Structure 1
Amino acid sequence: MTSSPYPPDISAPQPPRPNVAFRRLRGQRSPGEFAAAVRRAAREIGECVSCDARYIGRVEAGAIRCPNYAYERVFLHMFPGRSLADLGFAPRASVRGRSARPYEATAHTRPRSAATPQTLRDPQVTEYTHHEESDVRRRAFMTGMTGSTATVAVATLTPFDVPPGAAPGDTALDRYPARAGARAVEEAIRRIRLLDDRHGADGLYRRAAAPLRTAFELLDSGTAQRDITDRLQAGAGELAISVGWLAHDSGRFDDARSHYAEALATSRMAGDEALEAHAFCNAAFLARDVGRPREAVRAAQAATRVAAPLGSPRLLSLLSLREAGGWAGLDDRGACERSLARAQALFARGGSDADPEWMSFYGEAELEGLEAQCWSALGEWRRAAQHARRAVALQDPHFTRNIALYTAELADDLARSGQPDEAASAGARALGILRDVRSSRIESMLATTARVLLPHRRAAGVSAFLERHAAARR
């Protein structure tokens, strides 16, 4: 787990110094090649790091003055006999000592800081550079925050939850900052989900980073009663999953994996089975999408074990579909069909009071859509198209993003099943919906469909779709 929702070290008076020593160790390898070597080394010692070329670039530029503990173990494994100083990093104590106190001060004295609502309303705002030295187990350095600090922190959730006219200095927030913070975190989660349902993830991901950081700051303030702490812990974990989903749907897979891992760690520390099942559920979906079907099966099965006592057949149905997706990726038709049958039987039991709030998207349309994806992965294009068509027809109009997803799925299934004209028509409908929805995942699906349809480009309908798709990409 490598993500951290804290802002950069704002106390540093000088620009970062390039890490020349680390750059020398990379040698002739590209940043991407070196990142792959880091991930391999991590697996050798049982660590999980989401290292990519961007991370290597940040280390070499000096933006990461000291790696977190997981990366430290990996680097020392890769370069035995060397210390962190030999690798060009600053002592951990100096990094931690410089970050905590100045941030606490600015939380009291700078209401227009980078985490204020004003900044968050700007969709072009630059995402925070995270402290790589921080992870869930070491968030305790924030426990010195006072109640008034928590009040300011609550204000950073405003873009997602506070009604117009509400002021962060209201008496309720001043008197009960932690309680107000718990409500604000919970409402921020609902607001993010609603916006994602209508508009997709691409425009939301950067804006959601600050509320996630704020949620953990409120949790780490250490001033709340046990019941409020439990609510904050559950809320912070659910928010991490929501932000992870935004990363997932916008194609930032390493970020998504990191956020899901953070939510999983939070759930384990809190003993929250519902949150743990949700984190495993999303991790299974991500694993399927990044080509790790066996991991998808294991994560879905782990989620099922945790969720079994929770009393929600609908949740178990969704988890069976996640498992089915993994089996389809492994080309195990028999196991996939068994999981699909189990999902349908559990779904038929109906909803219950035990169904988690986050499952509001899971209805008959989603059941059909996920089954379509399984048949598509198995190469059963016509059968997949039948389910995708039903998913489009059944979907509640509120879920604009899902309608675009199912329509794009239908277009691809039709294209691969030898029905280019119908595929082009469905693709054109999906492009129309994408005027209001931003999802890299859906855009990638349509790009694949366009490539499949290229041999049929002389057909009038196909030609029109290809031209419109090319114009949309430009």
Structure 2
Amino acid sequence: MASSSVTVSSPSPRPPRPNLAFRRLRGRRSPGEFAAAVRRAAREIDERVSCDARYIGRVEAGEIRCPNYAYERVFLHMFPGRTLTDLGFVPRSAVRGRGARAAGPAAVPHTTSPPYASRETDGAHEPYTTTHDLNDPHEVDDRNHEESDVQRRAFMSGGTATVAAASLGPWGLAFGGTAGAAPPRSARRPGEAEAGALEEAVRRIRLLDDRHGADGLYRRAAAPLRAAYALLDAGAARQATADRLHTGAGELAVSVGWLAHDSGRFDDARSHYAEALATARVALDPALEAHAFCNTSFLARDAGRPREAVRAAQAAQVAARPLGSARLLSLLALREAGGWAGLADRTGCEQALTRAQALYGRGPCDADPEWMSFYGDAELAGLEAQCWSALGDWQRAAHQAHRATRLQDPHFTRNLALFTAELADDLARAGHPDEAAAAGLRVLDLLDEVQSSRVRTMLAGTARVLLPHRRASGVSDFLDRHRALPRSA
């Protein structure tokens, strides 16, 4: 499919306003370098665009309010998880056809800044209208915003550092020693206290997730995440503080993405992980980049995109190598193994598993990231069990899953439920219905404490496998109790 960068603009009563969101995404690259990146991205998806520095300049100047369909596909490929409005454009219906005529200028939506800010682009969240770009003769409906993005950016448009810091209060964070207390009104820009509060919010969310699972936490985590990016938008006076805020906001985005992932909201999770990755790239933070790619790989595996899982895990390993953490590289090798298993590539999976085990054997070190506290003997066994399960080797999967349940620290209640559910499913498929039912009953006992859609989905699959074996010992009890479970909201 061919496309031209030539557009026809009609005069507008208002002068164009710069597309600062798009300018931020270009980063330190020159317009020519960025145009070359656009052309490369187009080739990756078999698209053709004649992008040059002049086109990039027109977009950033606000002369092109909405790109044509070819450019749209390329930009969304370059920045996965974002919408056109996230990239600084207006919906197509605002510049073409009945939507534009009916709504008029007042209906043009606010275009807000992306989830990071710099001094050269202050004010990016202000509404603006620009000259019309007559692109394609066909009309399309507006793309729907994901709920999390709408909430986050709406908060940013009017947030201040003080409001943002106070919004971290629901997570029991302390300002000046008092949990939930707002900082003094005179504080205009975030400082060490706000950075520390943000880091504590990340720890608090992870602790609650370890114990209780994601389902009850995801929506509660929206406010701290909005607050985190509002703090970034406010800008810190010191670079060291700004770096901490970037890392904290990115880690919080990963954590909230995980809550979405574990509660079955895969589209939301993908958006949060992409946001964390963008923050890592802006802050030149390889540790955050490795974490974001790590979770992106895990999500891709669970969402049925195994090749993407492999590529994301490999990208994470590239980012992580300079960090000096063998345990981190071990986990990333396991993520890669999961992708190979999803592709039914047993050789690739076994090679990645061997590498993961060798790296894990080097032991912990000071360079290991704080977020990896969950990664121990049990997690290693549990992730290996998932690989064998994906390859259909149920006996080996059950052996590793049983090992994971024995080794799991009881503090990580959610993981204990997850690995036991994995064990129940593997045993059921391996032809041991009585043992599977016993494991399934143990999981049901844990569901009073753990709210995880992922665990419930696994149990539902096990129940379907066990249905023909109702007369086996314990199976009827498991099926009856599983059927009596209250349905998730």
Please give the range of the TM-score, normalised by the shorter of the 2 chains: 0.7 to 0.9
Contact 2:170 2:180 in 1 (8 A): no
d(CA) in 1 for partners of 2:320 and 2:74? 30
- 1:68 aligned residue: 85
Question: What is the CA–CA distance in structure 2 between the aligned matches of 1:224 and 1:420, rounded to whole Å?
Answer: 62
CA change 1:409–1:133 in 2 (3 A) is closer
> Is the 2:76–2:84 contact (alpha carbons within 8 Å) kept by the matching residues of 1?
no
What is the aligned partner in structure 1 of residue 199 from structure 2?
Answer: 186
Residue matched to 2:150: 131
Q: 2: CA distance between counterparts of 1:343 and 1:97?
A: 44
Quick one: distance in 1 between partners of 2:299 and 2:71? 20
- 1:44-193 residue pairs with structure 2 within 5 A? 44-45=73-74, 47-48=76-77, 68-69=85-86, 76=92, 82=96, 85-86=99-100, 91=105, 95-96=109-110, 130-131=149-150, 149-162=160-173, 165-166=178-179, 168-169=181-182, 174=187, 177-193=190-206
Provide the rounded CA distance (Å) in 1 between the counterparts of 2:376 and 2:459. Answer: 24
* Alignment CA distance shift 1:195-1:456 (3 Å): same
**Alignment counterpart, residue 294 of structure 1, candidates 307, 327, 331:** 307
1:385 paired residue number: 398
The Cα of 1:224 is off from its aligned counterpart by 2.7
Q: For 2:110, what is the secondary structure of its paired residue?
A: helix
Asked if structure 2 preserves the Cα contact closer than 8 Å seen for 1:411 and 1:424, the reply is yes
Contact 1:366 1:391 in 2 (8 A): yes
Structure 1 residues 150-183: Cα deviation after superposition (integer angstroms, max 9, x where no partner):
2232111112232595352455995984321111
The amino acid of 1:272's aligned partner reads D
Counterpart mapping for 1:63-462 below 5 A: 68-69=85-86, 76=92, 82=96, 85-86=99-100, 91=105, 95-96=109-110, 130-131=149-150, 149-162=160-173, 165-166=178-179, 168-169=181-182, 174=187, 177-462=190-475
Where structure 1 has 5 or more consecutive residues not aligned to the other structure, the ranges are 1-39, 56-65, 105-126
Give the Å deviation of 1:418: 0.1
Specify the SS of the correspondent of 2:364.
coil
CA distance in 2, matches of 1:185, 1:270: 16
Post-superposition offset of 1:231: 0.4
Question: 1:259-295: CA deviations, max 9, x gaps?
Answer: 0000000100110000000000000000000000000
- Would the alpha carbon gap of residues 375 and 160 (structure 1) be closer, same or farther in structure 2, given more than 3 Å must change? same
Following TM superposition, by how much is the alpha carbon of 1:98 offset from its aligned partner in structure 2, in angstroms? 11
Paired letter, 1:376 = S
Consecutive unaligned residues in structure 2, runs of 5 or more: 1-68, 114-121, 127-145
- Does the aligned pair in 2 maintain the 1:85–1:91 contact within 8 Å? no
After TM superposition, give the deviation of residue 462 of structure 1 in Å.
0.3
Contact 1:156 1:211 in 2 (8 A): yes
Counterparts in 2 of 1:226 and 1:44: CA distance versus 1, 3 Å? closer
Describe the shift of the 1:50–1:309 C-alpha distance in structure 2 as closer, same or farther (beyond 3 A): closer
CA contact (8 A) 1:152 1:168 kept: no
Using a 3 Å threshold, how does the CA distance of structure 1 residues 87 and 186 change in structure 2: closer, same or farther?
Answer: farther
SS for the counterpart of 2:485 is helix
Partners of 1:405 and 1:455 lie apart in 2 by 24
Query: What amino acid maps onto 2:396 in structure 1?
Result: R
* Contact in 1 for aligned 2:428/2:436 (Cα 8 Å): yes
Find out whether 1:463 has 2:476 as its counterpart: yes
CA distance in 2, matches of 1:92, 1:214: 28
Letter in 2 for 1:338: Q
Q: Is the 8 A contact 2:85 2:111 kept in 1?
A: no
- C-alpha offsets along residues 92-117 of structure 1, whole Å, 9 cap, x if unaligned? 9953399999x99xxxxxxxxxxxxx
CA RMSD, 1 decimal: 3.5
1:254: how far off? 0.1
The verdict on how the C-alpha distance between 1:97 and 1:332 changes in structure 2, with shifts beyond 3 A counting, is closer
Contact 1:313–1:350 (Cα < 8 Å) also in 2:
yes
- Aligned partner letter, 1:239: L
The equivalent of 1:27 in structure 2 is: none
* Letter matched to residue 152 of structure 1: V
Quick one: distance in 2 between partners of 1:346 and 1:421? 37
Q: Distance in 1 between matches of 2:444 and 2:453?
A: 13
Shift of the 359–83 alpha-carbon distance from structure 1 to 2, 3 Å rule, reads: farther
**Partner amino acid for 2:320?**
A
Letter in 2 for 1:332: D
Q: For the structure 1 residues 89 and 327, does the alpha-carbon distance in structure 2 shift closer, same or farther, using more than 3 Å as the test?
A: farther
Would the aligned equivalents of 2:198 and 2:249 in 1 still touch at CA under 8 Å?
A: yes
CA distance in 2, matches of 1:290, 1:151: 38
Identity %: 63
Higher mean C-alpha deviation, range 173-182 or range 434-443: 173-182
Query: 2:43: which partner in 1?
Result: none
Q: Given the superposition, is the C-alpha separation of residues 363 and 159 from structure 1 closer, same or farther in structure 2, using an over 3 Å criterion?
A: same
Read off the aligned partner of 1:255 and give its amino acid letter: D
Residue range with higher mean Cα deviation, 450-459 or 84-93: 84-93
Distance of aligned partners of 1:196 and 1:460 in 2 relative to their CA distance in 1, 3 Å threshold: same
Q: Deviations over 1:402-452 (max 9, x none)?
A: 000000000000000000000000000011111110000000000000000
